[in-house]
Amino acid sequence: MLRELTINDFTSVLGEGKATPGGGAAAALSASLAAALTSMVFNLTIDKKAAKDYPESVVTSMKEAREATDRFRNRYLKLMVDDAESFDGLMAAFSLPKETEEEKAQRKSSIDSAKERVLEIPYQLVKESFEMYDALKIATEYGNKNAISDAGVAAILIHSAIEGAALNVFINLAGSEVNEENISLKAQTDDYVEKSKSFKEDIVATVIDKIYGRQ
Amino acid sequence: MLRELTINDFTSVLGEGKATPGGGAAAALSASLAAALTSMVFNLTIDKKAAKDYPESVVTSMKEAREATDRFRNRYLKLMVDDAESFDGLMAAFSLPKETEEEKAQRKSSIDSAKERVLEIPYQLVKESFEMYDALKIATEYGNKNAISDAGVAAILIHSAIEGAALNVFINLAGSEVNEENISLKAQTDDYVEKSKSFKEDIVATVIDKIYGRQ
């Protein structure tokens, strides 16, 4: 299973000439790295000298945010596996027999539901990655200053996950029916990417200001 | 060693309250994922139906680019390990004894050379990640259309690596002497980030055009 591959083997398998794991899985891993880095920032802050002058309310919000980022780290890895599996499912559906009318109908129905799943996973990744920003804003504002670049890298990687997963939404939509649901999915995905870009740029600008002692 | 950790364990270790592995290592991993995805695009194209109408010169340039991305995948993982080790080296230098004058001098010299190394690694990552764009342009132009989103995700992830490593250059420079060399390092890093942003945006725009059949 993908989660149990070593870093070395994962990148090696990713490079092979098979469709999975592909960009969707890489985007999900990027999201998981972002969540982990944000947990790290909280772990270097909570119960440490960096937090000694913080009011209890700030410490509580950091602890709650850390609970979320710990959960997200694992959830995005789940989506990484789902992404690869859903695409394998689509390939399997395409190779179903299509001799008889019954087989043809069965194959079409399998392809349709596999396509739905292939489209659903990257959209989930877009949507759920976006949830990282609450924690990221807290980490950037209150996180240990020595780890401020880590909060910045986390923002960069979560935006990558969103932007990368969005490309997977688009390529799957391009092969799908143009209906109201799909038009709305496209608009919502565009909207997440745009908002994410602005949030990420704000966080990176704040990180750079903090690095140079301007904040 | 980091490269031998499973994906699961790597993200878990990344989330712990230790300074390493941190954002620098995550940025290097992002670069390695980008290189692997680009290799994948070439592997799904070269010697496949997707390349059957290409002139020999295009196939040759794809093969050469694949040699580069295979090499980069491994090289960026090496930088991931180096990033964590160099920072551990700096921490070790800080904890050297400082009782006698001799010890103080030894400690200072160890800290200085460790700081240099900590600054050098993310700068190398910025510089060497930038080398991915030649291969990425070829993959975007000639890669299998079914894998065009993978080329897009690769561009997104290599830009993340560059932007993320740049934050590490900046945070390390902020703790270093302001001299000509460091001022030039800052300017060069800014320059790489800016150029990378523009290259990445061009590639993503091309990918989206190709997804919607506009190119």
Q: Averaged over B126-137, what is the pLDDT?
A: 98
Distance CA A185, CA A24 (A): 17
Inter-chain touch A170–B22, beta carbons under 8 Å? no
Which of these, A178, A177, A151, lies nearest to A38 by C-alpha position?
A: A151
- B-interface mutation test, from A38, A144, A149, most B Cβ less than 10 A away: A149
Band of pLDDT at residue B109, cut at 50, 70 and 90: very high
Residue with token string 């997440």: A192
Q: Which residues of A touch B43 (CB under 8 A)?
A: 15-17
- B-interface mutation test, from A167, A193, A211, most B Cβ less than 10 A away: A167
Distance CA A86, CA A109 (A): 15
> Nearest CB to A37: which of B14, B154, B157?
B14
| Those residues with Cβ within 8 angstroms of residue A82's Cβ, 6 or more apart along the chain or in another chain | A121
The minimum CA-CA distance between A204 and chain B, rounded to whole Å, is: 9
pLDDT in tens, B166-193: 999 999 999 788 899 999 999 999 999 9
Closest chain B residue to A211, measured at CA: B171
Q: Tokens in use for A103?
A: 């087989």
| Those residues with Cβ within 8 angstroms of residue A201's Cβ, 6 or more apart along the chain or in another chain | none
Inter-chain touch B22–A37, beta carbons under 8 Å? yes
Q: Tokens in use for A93?
A: 């559906």
Spatial contact of A179 and A85, defined as CB atoms under 8 Å apart: no
Closest chain B residue to A45, measured at CA: B17
Inter-chain touch A26–B10, beta carbons under 8 Å? no
In chain B, where the domains are located = 2-211
Band of pLDDT at residue B70, cut at 50, 70 and 90: very high
The minimum CA-CA distance between B45 and chain A, rounded to whole Å, is: 8
Which residues in chain A show pLDDT less than 50? none
- CA B149-B152-B156 angle, 5° bins: 140
Q: Residue A79, CB half-sphere, CA atoms under 13 Å: how many?
A: 29
Spatial contact of A185 and A123, defined as CB atoms under 8 Å apart: yes
Kindly state the DSSP code that residue A98 receives in the 8-state scheme: -
- Determine the pLDDT at residue A176: 83
Residue with token string 């694949």: B66
Query: Is 0.90 surpassed by the pTM of this model?
Result: yes
Which helix H or strand E contains B202, and what residues bound it?
A: helix B180-211
- B-interface mutation test, from A37, A115, A132, A136, most B Cβ less than 10 A away: A37
Spatial contact of B28 and B77, defined as CB atoms under 8 Å apart: yes
pLDDT in tens, B13-29: 999 999 999 999 999 99
Distance CA B105, CA A58 (A): 42
Inter-chain touch B15–A2, beta carbons under 8 Å? no
The minimum CA-CA distance between A198 and chain B, rounded to whole Å, is: 15
> Nearest CB to A33: which of B14, B48, B73?
B14
Is B35 a residue whose pLDDT tops 90?
yes
- Determine the pLDDT at residue B175: 78
Spatial contact of B19 and B87, defined as CB atoms under 8 Å apart: yes
This complex has an ipTM of: 0.97
Q: Which residues of B touch A77 (CB under 8 A)?
A: 7-8, 11
Is B215 a residue whose pLDDT tops 90?
no
- Determine the pLDDT at residue B135: 98
- Determine the pLDDT at residue B176: 83
Among B101-115, B123-137, B166-180, the minimum mean pLDDT is found in B166-180
Phi/psi of residue A6, nearest 5 degrees: -70, 160
Closest chain B residue to A21, measured at CA: B37
- Determine the pLDDT at residue A38: 98
A47 φ/ψ sector (left φ>0, alpha ψ -120 to 50, else beta): left
Q: Which residues of A touch B146 (CB under 8 A)?
A: 19
- Determine the pLDDT at residue A189: 98
Which of these, A148, A34, A23, A29, lies nearest to A79 by C-alpha position?
A: A29
Band of pLDDT at residue B46, cut at 50, 70 and 90: very high
Exposure string over B123-157, b if 16+ CB within 10 A, otherwise e: bbbbebbbebbebbbbbbebbbeebbbbbbbbbbb
- Determine the pLDDT at residue B178: 86
- Determine the pLDDT at residue A177: 83
Is B34 a residue whose pLDDT tops 80?
yes
CATH architecture for residues B2-211: Up-down Bundle (1.20)
Distance CA B75, CA A66 (A): 32
- Determine the pLDDT at residue B213: 87
Band of pLDDT at residue B101, cut at 50, 70 and 90: very high
> Nearest CB to B157: which of A26, A168, A204?
A26
Spatial contact of A164 and B157, defined as CB atoms under 8 Å apart: yes
Q: What share of chain A is helix, strand, coil (3-state, %, to 5)?
A: 85, 0, 15
Band of pLDDT at residue B197, cut at 50, 70 and 90: very high
Which of these, A36, A150, A215, A205, lies nearest to B172 by C-alpha position?
A: A150
